[in-house]
Amino acid sequence: MLRVLTAWLVTFGTILGVLISAARASDITFGPDLASSNWNVVSFPFKRPITTSIIDTGTLEIIADHAAGMIWHALPSRIGRPERAQWSWRVDAGVGATDLASKGADDRAIAVYFIFGHAGDREKDVMSLLNSQSVSTLVYVHGGAEPRGAIVQSPHMGERGKFIILRPANSERKVWLDEQVDLQADYRRAFERPPPDLLAIAVSSDSDDTGGINRTRIRGISVRP
């Protein structure tokens, strides 16, 4: 009887842990439209803007035709310092391999930004965040010439921004690719220190330097403890 009770308690504890973890997870959706799901579209001066469309409730298509831009989503303070993130993306058309370390030559099909900072940074818009000396950013990239796992310093953010290559530009096209990343470990590897709080997430596409066309989709973004 004691053995049965012990086994039941272990099982119950496992289920409870999963439920608590799920309750603390944050799914970031794209539907039914960007504004109502708290995404903001950002255009850059003197750059043709990207175009976005909702394919279904949870899938966003981004097209960058000789263009550059991003969308961003501020996160509530309860998110804190999540351990992991996941999403799925696909590239149906994209620019070729580029030098992500060179300003003016750093086009990429799609990238997901995880923007970290402190309490005083929470009221800033995304461009102020990316330019703030107290903010640091991990950027997971589908594009560039480096191999998977390579870290490249952003030519725009310097030491405050690091690209991590998840899929080089020559990766398979027209298929969904699932990504799971360890934010804590990747941040420590890129910046050699523990991360502060996660403040925002952004998604960008960039083809203006090469004059190419990116046609990409993304879905299922979530951050988890």
pLDDT in tens, 18-36: 333 333 468 999 988 999 9
- Residue 208, classified by CB atoms within 10 Å of its CB into exposed (0-12), middle (13-18) or buried (19+), is buried
Which residues fall within 8 angstroms of residue 200, CB to CB, at 6 or more apart?
A: 72, 73, 74, 75, 113, 115, 126, 129
Position 133 scores a pLDDT of: 94
Assign 2 a pLDDT band (cuts: 50, 70, 90): low
Q: Percentage of residues in the chain with pLDDT exceeding 70?
A: 89
Kindly tell me if the per-residue pLDDT of 57 is higher than 90: no
Q: Which residues of 40-69 are buried (b: 16+ CB within 10 A; e: fewer)?
A: eebebeeeeebebebeeebbbbbbbbebbb
- Sign of dihedral through CA atoms 98, 63, 90, 94? negative
Q: pLDDT (tens digit, 9 = 90+) per residue, 150-178?
A: 999 999 999 999 999 999 999 999 999 99
Distances (CA, A) of 24 to 14, 65, 202: 16, 38, 21
Tokens of 75: 């996160």
Kindly tell me if the per-residue pLDDT of 44 is higher than 90: yes
Position 7 scores a pLDDT of: 47
Phi, psi angle pair for 3, to nearest 5°: -65, -40
pTM listed for this prediction: 0.88
- How far apart are alpha carbons 112 and 223 in whole angstroms? 12
Under 8 Å between Cβ of 200 and 107: no
Which domains does the chain carry? 28-224 (2.60.120)
Task: Count Cβ atoms below 10 Å from residue 127 Cβ, excluding itself.
Answer: 12
Which residues fall within 8 angstroms of residue 18, CB to CB, at 6 or more apart?
A: none
Assign 80 a pLDDT band (cuts: 50, 70, 90): very high
Q: Where on the phi/psi map is residue 80: left (φ > 0), alpha (ψ -120 to 50), or beta?
A: left
Q: Percentage of residues in the chain with pLDDT exceeding 90?
A: 82
| Of the candidate ranges 23-27, 69-73, 79-83, 166-170, the one whose mean pLDDT is the lowest | 23-27
Position 56 scores a pLDDT of: 83
The C-alpha angle 43, 142, 105, rounded to 5 degrees, equals 60
- How far apart are alpha carbons 162 and 147 in whole angstroms? 15
